[in-house]
Amino acid sequence: MWDAIIITPFINVLLFIYNLVGQNFGIAIILFTLLIRLVTHPLMAKQIKGSQAMQQMQNDPEWQAIQKKYKDDKEKLAAEQMRFYKERKISPFASCLPTLIQFPIIIGLYQAIIQTMASTPIELLKLVRHIYPALLKVESLIPLNSRFLWMDLGQPERLYIPGLSFGIPILVIIVVVTTYMQSKLITPPSNNPGDQAAQMSKMMNWYMPIFMGYLAWTLASGLALYFVVSNLIGIGQYALLGKINWSNLNPFQKATPPTPSKDNKSGSGTKPEPAKKTEVEKLPAQTKTGSGSSSSATSKQKKYNAPKKPIKKR
């Protein structure tokens, strides 16, 4: 089922591209990754917007005040959270659903690349069986030309320079750098000192590049190439949506929120406008009289994905 719906079509598209570009598997991996990421871009955009709305909520002083107020009353906190979602028109599933839909596609992309780089008998047998004979000719495809630049895409990559007794893992270095860049550039800022998610993200920014570097060091370089392309496309996607602040790469500068794009009327890439102090101060009274009365909700109602006011830097 999984094979028939995802893997087999993906492998055939990948091999079709491979044929189209003169049997260059490196170029085929790059184009295929680009194609799949383009197709899933609308989902990715939705996911980014949804997760940003959730992140902005964490930074919202009003929400922080609610958390503080009801830290010992989980039921009340949950009720207030639901009210907050409703008022601000935040959907907690807005980032989950696109991720769930993208997940099998991205796994399929990864699997298709792995299975196409068959280097053992059973792997090759499986690959040959995946090929649509009406679309592709096995005899002209197999074995795949796995040479790309200085690499054999079926083997872990090392660049051997005359005079050096060891190979330099160029691609591993690029994987580490691009993974770090991507992590830093897309991590949203957090002004909430108790934000556990932000602390986790901070740690991931360091662990993830090392982890990906280790995979690139040990696995076939075709996969490392995919990691690099995927990282660069990921950065490009965030940049397109105006969610990137390049100054985050400066290790001596505190993370700042992304600069809004000029046409950013929809609010993507913007920092949430801080809730007015008076609103926070009023909160206990509101909750006492029944939180989320329609009149007060309407007056405060802000949609995180569509703030009306321009962004002010703190």
Partner 1 sequence: MILKKRFSLLLLLVAGALLLSACGGVMTASSWPGITGNGDVAYVAATTYVHAIRLSDGSEVWRYPEKAEPNRMFYAAPVLVGDQLIVGDYRNELHSINPVNGKLNWSFTGAKGKWITSPLALDTMLLAPCADHFLYALDLNGNLLWKFETGEPIWATPTTDGKFVYVASMDHHVYALDPATGQEQWKTDMGAAIIFTPTLSEEGILYLATLAREVLAVRNTGEILWRQSVENLVWSQPVVRNGSMYFADTSGKVYSVKTADGSIQWTQSIGGEAGTAALGVPAVLDDALIYGLENGELVAISYSGDRLWTRSVNGTLYSGPVLAGDRLLVGVTQGDRLVVSFDLNGNESWSFTPAK
Is 306 one of the binding residues for partner 1 (CB under 8 A)? no
What backbone phi and psi angles, to 5 degrees, belong to 294? -60, -35
Binders of partner 1 in range 140-199 (CB under 8 A): 142-143, 196, 199
Among 103, 139, 115, 153, which residue's Cα sits nearest to residue 9?
A: 115
Q: Estimate the crossing angle of helix 8-20 against helix 121-130, to 10 degrees.
A: 90
Residue number, 38 or 138, with CB nearest to partner 1: 138
Strand, coil or helix: 284: helix
Binders of partner 1 in range 120-139 (CB under 8 A): 120-125, 128-129, 138-139
Is 78 one of the binding residues for partner 1 (CB under 8 A)? no
Residue number, 120 or 295, with CB nearest to partner 1: 120
Residue number, 206 or 246, with CB nearest to partner 1: 206
**At 169, which amino acid appears?**
P
Residue number, 142 or 280, with CB nearest to partner 1: 142
Among 24, 19, 39, which residue's Cα sits nearest to residue 225?
A: 24
What backbone phi and psi angles, to 5 degrees, belong to 259? -75, 135
**At 24, which amino acid appears?**
N
Which residues sit opposite 148 in a β-bridge? Answer: 151
Q: Estimate the crossing angle of helix 277-288 against helix 61-69, to 10 degrees.
A: 40
Query: For partner 1, what does the binding mask look like between residues 263 and 302, x meaning CB under 8 A?
Result: ----------------------------------------
Q: Which stretch binds partner 1 (CB under 8 A): 37-45, 92-100, 183-191, 204-212?
A: 204-212
The contact set with partner 1 (CB under 8 A) reads 107, 110-111, 114-115, 119-125, 128-129, 138-139, 142-143, 196, 199-200, 203-204, 207, 211, 214-215, 219, 223
